[in-house]
């Protein structure tokens, strides 16, 4: 019976490892490979998201270089040869995404750094992967982990990877989230042949309880946007240009009989406007713009009512310039 218990545990571990790699259709941004690394989304903010990854086996190799891009290129060649037959038995395996580059935090410009490139093994080879023929390749058993993730487009270069890693750590420091500060992962999902809609990520491994909320700035309650009826900028004293005010002193019944503004058979004439003395007359209007008389404060009220009444006699409406 103990023997069967051990077999059951081993089978459970193997199934757990296989469950962490699944069809690429389960992830919207993993589109160039049949299988992708699966995860559980724990929480998400405007700046990052927290994911939980199950245990998984990787094939890995190290490369020493001054720049991440150079080291990743050397390591990628070895790993690609492994999945295309450079292994015992000459087994050819499908490419599984994403590709992980382990990037050390403490690097000096005059000294090369060691970058570790990792390929996730396909689900069919998680339990018994073929042995590589290149001695520089080895297998990595990655335990389950929670990671802080920041996504970005374009190309995963040394500059862009460092930039987004800095932006992510800045946010993690602000919310006081505990994480491993000795390294981070540069994560790529696309081949070099893909030019548009590329997807890259930066990972920092979480330590302890993950944080997705800001302890210093709680999320404020939702406040509905004020409608136009209760907006403080609306003023009842300024009627619309095409509306006739309800002032009793300016209603059609109180106007002079010689100025039939509300009559549908007559359109107001310029002679209806009060005559101005030469001293009060404005400057000559410009040919390219509205007359000063139409915007002067002393004539604005009278012209507005004349214009509004004239609009009532037309069938196609009027300009709202007044």
Contact 206, 147 (CB under 8 A): yes
What one-character-per-residue DSSP string does 247-311 give? Answer: -GGGSGGGS-TT--TT-TT----GGGSPP--TTT--PPPPTTS--HHHH-HHHHHHHHHHHHHHH
Helix ranges (DSSP H) in 66-157: 68-83
Mean pLDDT estimate for the chain: 74
Name beta bridge partners: 114: 64
Task: State which residues form the domain around 245.
Answer: 238-277+292-322
Phi (first) and psi of residue 41, to 5 degrees = -75, 115
Pairing state of beta strands 113-120 and 145-152?
unpaired
Answer yes or no: is pLDDT of 2 > 80: no
pLDDT band for position 107 (50/70/90)? confident
**Angle formed by the axes of helices 158-174 and 68-83, to 10°?**
100
249 and 155 part of one domain: no
175 and 263 part of one domain: no
* Nearest one of 58, 262, 253 to 141, comparing CA atoms: 58
3-state secondary structure of 21: strand
pTM: 0.61
Judge if the upstream peptide bond of residue 98 is cis by omega within 30 degrees of 0.
Answer: yes
pLDDT of residue 192: 83
Domain boundary residue, one of 186, 205, 224: 205
Phi (first) and psi of residue 172, to 5 degrees = -65, -35
For residues 111-121, give the mean pLDDT.
95
Instruction: Identify the residue with better confidence: 70 or 106.
Output: 70
194 and 251 part of one domain: no
pLDDT band for position 253 (50/70/90)? very low
Over the stretch 274-315, which tens digit does the pLDDT of each residue have? 554 444 444 444 444 444 433 334 344 434 444 444 444 444
Domain count, the chain: 2
**Rounded distance between C-alpha atoms, residue 46 and residue 284, angstroms:** 58
199 and 260 part of one domain: no
């Amino acid at each position: 019976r103990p023997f069967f218990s051990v077999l059951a545990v081993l089978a459970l571990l193997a199934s757990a490892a296989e469950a962490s790699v699944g069809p690429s259709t389960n992830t919207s941004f993993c589109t160039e490979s049949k299988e992708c690394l699966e995860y559980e989304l724990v929480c998400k903010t405007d700046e990052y998201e927290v994911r939980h990854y199950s245990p998984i086996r990787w094939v890995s190799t190290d490369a020493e270089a001054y720049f991440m891009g150079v080291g990743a290129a050397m390591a990628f060649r070895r790993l690609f040869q492994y999945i295309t037959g450079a292994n015992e038995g000459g087994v050819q395996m499908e490419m599984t995404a994403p590709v992980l580059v382990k990037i050390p935090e403490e690097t000096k410009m005059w000294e090369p750094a060691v970058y570790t490139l990792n390929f996730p093994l396909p689900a069919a080879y998680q339990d018994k992967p073929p042995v590589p023929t290149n001695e520089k390749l080895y297998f990595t058993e990655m335990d389950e982990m929670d990671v802080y993730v920041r996504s970005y487009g374009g190309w995963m270069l040394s500059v862009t990877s460092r930039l987004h890693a800095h932006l992510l750590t800045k946010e993690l420091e602000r919310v006081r989230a505990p994480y491993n500060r000795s390294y981070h992962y540069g994560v790529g999902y696309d081949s070099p042949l893909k030019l548009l809609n590329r997807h890259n990520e930066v990972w920092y491994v979480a330590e302890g309880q993950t944080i997705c909320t800001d302890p210093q700035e709680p999320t404020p309650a939702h406040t509905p946007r004020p409608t136009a009826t209760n907006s403080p900028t609306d003023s009842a004293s300024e009627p619309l240009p095409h509306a006739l005010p309800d002032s009793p002193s300016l209603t059609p019944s109180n106007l002079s009989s010689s100025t039939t503004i509300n009559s549908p058979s007559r359109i107001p004439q310029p002679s209806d406007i009060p005559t101005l003395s030469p001293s009060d007359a404005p400057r000559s209007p410009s040919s390219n713009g509205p007359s000063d008389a139409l915007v002067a404060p002393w004539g604005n009220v009278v012209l507005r009512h004349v214009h509004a009444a004239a609009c009532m006699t037309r069938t196609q409406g009027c300009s709202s310039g007044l």
